[in-house]
C-alpha cells in the first residue's frame, strides 16, 4: 500500500503571500518546508519517524441507515477531534482517507520525543473518543470504536506527483507496517497495537514509565511479511482495551 500526504504545491511566493490558504491544505509545520522548495521535485531524504494510523472500526456498518449528511457530520467530528490530538502532541497530520487518519511524528524535522509523542497522541485519541462517545450516546447516536497502529523506523520524505499536482509524501516499510498493525487491532481485541521498535524508542526517549498500560504480546505475522513481528498492545491480552477515561471510571467505581 502506498501512503502519501496530499498537499497542493505552490511556488514559494504563493506560500509566503497566502499562508491562510496554504494552511488549509497542509499541516502548519510543513509550510516552511514547502516554502523552501526551489523546484517542485527536490531530493528525497531518509530519516527516522514515528507513524500513527487510526481507523474507525465497523464504519461501513455504522453508515447503514444514515443519511449522507449524518455520515459527513460524523466524519467531520471524528476528523476534527483526532486532528486536534495530533497537533496537541506535536505531530504532523499526514492525511485523512475516509474514516482513517495518518499522522507522523518526526517529520518534516526529527525531534527528541517523536516516539513518545506518537504514543501520547494515541492515548489522547482514545480519551477524546471516550468523551465524545458520552455526547453521542446522550444524543441517541452510536458509540464509535477505533483501532490505532504505531511503528517507528526509517521513512522516505519528498514530493511526488506532477508539477501541477504534487504531494508531500512520507513513504516506506515503516508506514506500511504501522497501517497493518492498526488492522491487527481487531484480531488482537485491543484499541492500540504498537511495534516493539516504537516501545524501545519511547524507553530511550523518556523512560519506562511512559509505557504504563502497554503489554507485550506474542509475536504475530503481519500481512505482507514472512517473519513474525514483536508487538505490544494496550490492556490485558484477550480483553478489549478501553480508553484511559473508561479505565479511570472503572477504577473509581471499584473504590466506592
| Range scoring the smallest mean pLDDT among 34-38, 153-157, 165-169 | 34-38
Q: Would residue 195 count as lying in a domain?
A: no
Q: Would residue 198 count as lying in a domain?
A: no
CATH number at 121 reads: 3.30.70.1230
Q: Would residue 65 count as lying in a domain?
A: yes
Locate 139 and state its grid cell. Answer: 444524543
Residue 67: give the domain boundaries. Answer: 5-182
- Report strand pairing: 5-6 vs 100-105: unpaired
Q: Would residue 256 count as lying in a domain?
A: no
Number of domains in the chain: 1
Q: Residue 193: CA atoms inside 13 Å, Cβ hemisphere, count?
A: 31
Specify the pTM: 0.80
- H or E stretch at 96: strand 92-97
pLDDT in tens, 114-129: 999 999 999 999 999 9
Residues, the chain: 256
Q: Would residue 91 count as lying in a domain?
A: yes
pLDDT in tens, 205-221: 999 999 999 999 999 98
Quote the pLDDT of residue 227: 86
Amino acid at each position: 500500500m502506498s501512503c502519501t500526504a496530499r498537499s497542493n504545491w505552490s511556488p514559494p511566493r504563493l506560500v509566503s503571500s497566502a499562508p491562510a490558504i496554504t494552511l488549509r491544505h497542509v499541516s502548519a509545520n510543513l509550510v516552511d518546508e514547502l516554502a523552501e522548495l526551489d523546484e517542485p521535485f527536490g531530493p528525497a531524504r531518509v530519516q527516522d519517524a514515528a507513524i500513527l494510523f487510526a481507523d474507525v472500526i465497523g464504519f461501513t456498518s455504522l453508515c447503514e441507515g444514515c443519511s449522507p449528511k449524518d455520515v459527513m457530520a460524523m466524519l467531520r467530528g471524528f476528523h476534527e477531534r483526532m486532528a486536534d490530538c495530533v497537533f496537541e502532541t506535536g505531530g504532523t497530520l499526514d492525511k485523512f482517507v475516509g474514516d482513517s487518519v495518518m499522522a507522523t511524528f518526526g517529520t518534516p524535522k526529527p525531534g527528541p520525543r517523536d516516539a513518545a509523542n506518537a504514543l501520547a497522541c494515541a492515548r489522547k485519541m482514545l480519551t477524546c473518543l471516550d468523551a465524545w462517545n458520552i455526547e453521542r450516546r446522550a444524543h441517541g447516536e452510536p458509540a464509535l470504536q477505533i483501532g490505532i497502529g504505531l511503528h517507528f523506523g526509517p521513512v522516505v520524505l519528498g514530493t511526488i506527483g506532477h508539477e501541477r499536482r504534487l504531494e508531500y509524501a512520507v513513504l516506506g516499510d515503516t508506514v506500511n507496517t504501522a497501517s497493518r498493525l492498526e488492522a491487527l487491532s481487531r484480531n488482537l481485541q485491543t484499541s492500540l497495537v504498537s511495534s516493539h521498535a516504537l516501545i524501545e524508542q519511547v524507553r530511550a526517549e523518556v523512560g519506562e514509565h511512559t509505557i504504563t498500560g502497554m503489554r507485550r504480546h506474542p509475536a504475530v505475522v503481519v500481512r505482507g511479511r514472512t517473519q513474525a513481528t514483536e508487538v505490544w498492545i494496550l490492556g490485558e491480552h484477550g480483553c478489549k482495551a478501553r480508553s484511559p477515561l473508561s479505565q479511570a471510571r472503572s477504577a473509581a467505581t471499584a473504590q466506592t
